[in-house]
Amino acid sequence: MLKSLGILLIFIAIAIFQIPQLAKEKMNKEIVIFSIFMVFTAVIAILKVNDVPIPNPLELIAYTLDPILNLFS
Amino acid sequence: MEEKVRISPFQLSVLTILFTTGTTFLIIPSTMTAETKQDAWVSSILGIIICLGLSYFFIVCGREMGRKNYIQYLEDVYGRLLGKMIGLLYVFFCFNGTAALLSYFGFFTTTQMLTTTPIEVLHILLAILIISVVRAGLEVLARTGELMIIWVFLLLLAMIVFLLPDIQLERLTPSFVASPMNHTKAIINFVAIAGLPLVVFLMIIPKHINRPDLAKWNFIAGTLIGTGAVTVIIVLCILVLGASTTARQLYPSYVLAKTISVFDIIQRIESIMAGIWVISIFFKTAIYFYVSVVGFAQILEVKNYHFLTIPMGMLTVIFSTIIYPNIEFMSHWDAKYWPPYLIIMGFIIPLFTLITDKIKKRFKSKKASNSTS
Amino acid sequence: MKKVIFFILFTIVSIPTLSACWDTREVNDLAIAVALGIDKSEDKGYTVSVQILNPSEVASQTAGGGSGYDTPVTTYTSSGKILFEAIRKLTQQTPRKLYLAHLRIIVIGEEVAKEGIYNAIDFLSRDPELRTDFYIIVSKDSKAEDVLRILTNIEKLPANKLYESLEASSDAWAVTGKVNLNDLLNDIVSEGKQPVLTGIKIKGDPKIGTSPDNVQSIYPKAELVYDGMAAFRNNKLVGWLDEEESKGLNYVKGTVKSTLIVTDMNDGQVGIELLKSSAEIIPHFDVGSTPTIEVKITGEANIGEVNTNLDLLKDHVFSELEKKTNEKIKDNITSAIEKAQKEYKADIFGFGDKIHKEDPKKWEEIKTNWTEIFPTIQVEVKVDIKIRRTGTITNPFHNELSEE
């Protein structure tokens, strides 16, 4: 719990640092993208520190490549 | 997104050298000697030739792309939606690449030097560096490269000189006994690790080069020097450690540095020598990360990529601990899936795109000439 | 505001990363091991003895004065089922955690060597703290533990004594072999070459050797002496080579830097100092299916000592001396080869390796039963040593003097 809170704090700090920069240049679309991205990353990070298994992207590649490799072997 | 970022052709060579040598220095001697034993140098020289062909192929692609980067080009050729989807594949590839390299760095440091340091800390440290350099831009990265490459080559030279007394030429015999099958496997490994990842440079050439006409030879020269340095390391490993010992090591070139002992004075310098690998891994990771961020920004069509670096970097750090859960998975995945994956990403897709583009252009010009007549 | 946040963030990140790292180990927290001994324990495991440096004693130049004599090293012993367990268990006895990066020498007990050294080697090459620049030797007729308990003169550290005298005896007398971990591993995995390790013996009473008395008297009551070499087949010790045979082995391996050959001449002796030598192993395949091996030794020598009436400047004397030297070397080599072929059936010379290098196809055919083929192969030894100079004088001065 403490870990999750710490991560949340770090993410908020980064948002406070980044969002005003974007707002100054009136990049509204970018702010939305940034926020979605940050929330997504924060969720993954919190899942990770709480030892929730996260799918491995390499497994995904392996899964898609397997049928192709089977053709050759 | 339309930033005027320009690096010089020389800086391009520097980045190419650092990119090809990256993790290759550390891991390739053992994968090569595992296949072709003391003949590994033969297969790596053949590998260099293929790598040079590949870099020429990328230059050809670059020429077709004109002033666009690779993802813009994909959108051009395949249309907006399909182009973006293929572009996303490349972003995914570079993202995985960054995470995997962080992981490589972590595994290497925790195995050989800082054995009790939590691996996440090492990932975070390297990631902070990479995020800050990518935020600063490609020009900064290229200029840092110019400074650091001197150190890489000085240390490399020092290593070669210090190891001269330990060289036993007879370790190369019997020569030319490896079967063509083993040679093929070794060459595929070599090209997949050193040559094919150069596809990410399509995001940099020719768009971000100030003299695109010179970029061609600089890029090819960079590839030659980088792969050549790797070959030198492979030969050195065989000459000093012997093929079977090299094949059994996880990081043979580090063991190489460990064996340095000149007159009992210059010895135990492997931590300094580790600079070679740390510097080149840093640049390889930074280029991967730069391409993934810029590519993603391109796909989202945002004004600049800088604000994406922090969230993307954090995501990379998280995935760097997931991507290779252990060494066994790492060696299995790298041996089985990495070469075909890279052949698809680094050769088949660019080639297919190039052909499609040529056909489309010819078709268009025919149409144009038809309508005028 | 922005700057403040950035500053705080930067500080937060810096504090854990820059202040200290997880792996700092200060010198005064380390127990620096300089020698490691591996023995069998009673319950099928290993007993490990470690010689640990006593830094204050090594640093002080005036040992023995004032406060009395402390031993420069301390040897701890512990046992476990596997090597690593035994080493970790040592922390129960040692005052600090063991640091293995400065190992100079590893002594393998004879019993362990006879049972096989695979297990020991695995740990030694896997642990990242260990380097590969230490030498490996085998204790003869005693336990490795006892070897590491002998105090030595002049070189205060017994481990250093072992290291230095191995180098000296290998360079100047050529009856020992310097084998480090990489060499040993290469020999073990090679199918056409068997490893050899130098043997170490305790001369004198090992009990007295452990106390400072041993180094405080003018002649040591117990000493560590290198004695012959141990031949291995695969990973098991199969037998010992004596001094002459070890020399013969070193000639064939081409590791002889310098040595002395004593030849009989006119009821006296002449000492020939070999200055350099090189060996060539040439396999011949023509006759039948089993190859024959030709060993060619060439080298240069000086006359080092003359114990008899001899006119060195007469032209046939040199050629006669050369002939006798050649015969002596040939004797050494043949006795070593005979022992390896007949008694130990272990290809310690690397003939198989040479065949592999010369004719890989032929080697593929014979490599599976090389152990059976090796004892039957014909080995032809050719020695050609050239004597060049006579030292600083020509004829011995006692030529003109009468015996009385």
State the CATH number of the domain containing residue B92: 1.20.1740.10
Query: Does B365 fall in a domain?
Result: no
Tell whether B341 is within 8 A of chain A (Cβ).
yes
Range of the domain at B75: 9-359
List the single residue in B312, B314, B340 with the smallest CB-CB distance to A69.
B340
B225 in Cβ contact with B10 (< 8 Å): no
In 3D, which of C197, C379, C385, C390 has the Cα closest to residue C283?
C379
Range of the domain at A17: 2-72
Tokens at C338, concatenated? 């005979």
- Residue C304: alpha-carbon gap to chain centroid: 26
Interatomic CA distance for residues B31 and A48, integer angstroms: 32
Which residues 210-249 on chain C approach chain B with CB closer than 8 angstroms?
Answer: none
C281 in Cβ contact with C295 (< 8 Å): yes
pLDDT at C63: 47
- Beta bridge partner(s), residue C36: C50, C106
Number of domains chain A is built from: 1
In 3D, which of B98, B71, B83 has the Cα closest to residue B203?
B71
Q: Do A17 and C5 touch (CB under 8 A)?
A: yes
Those residues whose C-beta lies under 8 Å from the C-beta of residue B299, and which sit 6 or more positions away, are B71, B84, B87, B88, B91
Chain A residues inside the 8 Å CB shell of B92:
57
Query: Does B4 fall in a domain?
Result: no
Query: Could you tell me the strand order of the sheet in which C259-265 lies?
Result: C259-265, C268-284, C292-306, C379-389
Between C404 and A7, where is the model more confident?
A: A7
Interatomic CA distance for residues C313 and C317, integer angstroms: 7
- Partners of chain A (3+ Cβ pairs below 8 A): B, C
Number of domains chain B is built from: 1
Tokens at B323, concatenated? 């991507």
Chain A residues inside the 8 Å CB shell of C5:
13, 16-17
Taking each helix axis as running N to C, give the angle between helix B119-136 and helix B270-300, from 0 to 180 degrees, rounded to the nearest 10.
Answer: 60
Instruction: Phi first, then psi: give them for residue C240, nearest 5 degrees.
Output: -110, 150
C79: left (phi over 0), alpha (psi -120 to 50) or beta: beta
What is Dmax (Cα atoms) for chain C?
A: 107
Chain C residues inside the 8 Å CB shell of A17:
2, 5-6, 9
Locate tokens 């810029």: which residue?
Answer: B294
Chain C residues inside the 8 Å CB shell of B110:
none
Instruction: Give, as one character, the DSSP assignment of residue B165.
Output: G
Q: Do B315 and A48 touch (CB under 8 A)?
A: no
Instruction: Give, as one character, the DSSP assignment of residue B173.
Output: P
Length of chain B: 373
Q: Do B244 and C189 touch (CB under 8 A)?
A: yes
Tell whether B323 is within 8 A of chain A (Cβ).
yes
Which residues of chain C are under the pLDDT cut of 50? 63-67
Q: Nearest chain C residue to A13 by CA: give it.
A: C5
Chain C residues inside the 8 Å CB shell of B115:
23, 128-129
Query: Does B144 fall in a domain?
Result: yes
The percent helix, strand, coil of chain B (3-state, each to 5) is 85, 0, 15
In 3D, which of B262, B320, B327 has the Cα closest to residue B121?
B320
Tens-place pLDDT, residues C273-290: 998 889 999 988 876 667
Best A7, A14, A17 member to test C by mutation, with max C CBs in 10 Å, is A17
Q: Nearest chain B residue to A22 by CA: give it.
A: B307
In 3D, which of B273, B325, B366, B357 has the Cα closest to residue B73?
B357
Tokens at B4, concatenated? 């005027």
3-state secondary structure of B177: coil
B48 in Cβ contact with B224 (< 8 Å): yes
In 3D, which of C356, C244, A60, C373 has the Cα closest to residue B170?
C356
Interatomic CA distance for residues B186 and B35, integer angstroms: 6
Question: Which helix (H) or strand (E) is C145 found in, with range?
Answer: helix C144-147
Chain A residues inside the 8 Å CB shell of B307:
18, 21-22, 27, 30, 34
Instruction: Phi first, then psi: give them for residue C74, nearest 5 degrees.
Output: -125, 135
Chain A residues inside the 8 Å CB shell of B311:
14, 34, 37-38, 40-41
pLDDT at C17: 63
Each residue's pLDDT, cut to its tens digit, for chain B (373 residues) gives 455 778 888 999 999 999 999 888 888 898 889 888 888 889 999 999 999 999 999 988 888 887 888 888 888 888 889 999 999 999 999 999 999 999 999 998 888 888 778 888 889 889 989 999 998 889 999 999 999 999 999 999 999 999 998 888 888 888 888 888 999 999 999 999 988 999 999 888 888 888 878 888 899 999 999 999 999 999 999 999 888 888 888 888 888 888 888 877 777 888 888 888 889 999 999 999 999 999 999 898 888 888 889 899 999 999 998 888 888 888 888 888 999 999 999 899 999 999 998 898 888 887 777 766 5
List the single residue in C23, C128, C132 with the smallest CB-CB distance to B259.
C132
pLDDT at C68: 55
Locate tokens 């040992």: which residue?
Answer: C63
Query: Does B308 fall in a domain?
Result: yes
Q: How many inter-chain contacts (A to B, CB under 8 Å) are there?
A: 69
CATH number for region C246-404: 3.30.300.210
- Partners of chain B (3+ Cβ pairs below 8 A): A, C
Tokens at C243, concatenated? 């001094």
pLDDT at C368: 86
CA of C322: how far to CAs of C269, C295, C298, C394, in Å? 14, 18, 11, 17
Taking each helix axis as running N to C, give the angle between helix B9-21 and helix B212-241, from 0 to 180 degrees, rounded to the nearest 10.
Answer: 30
Whether cis (ω within 30° of 0) applies to the bond prior to B206 is yes
Question: Which helix (H) or strand (E) is C213 found in, with range?
Answer: helix C213-216
In 3D, which of C226, C180, C365 has the Cα closest to residue C291?
C365
DSSP secondary structure of B311-348: HHHHHHHHHHHHH-SSHHHHHHHHHHTHHHHHHIIIII
Interatomic CA distance for residues B323 and C85, integer angstroms: 32
Instruction: Give, as one character, the DSSP assignment of residue C90.
Output: G
Q: What are the start and end residues of each CATH 3.30.300.210 domain in chain C? A: 246-404
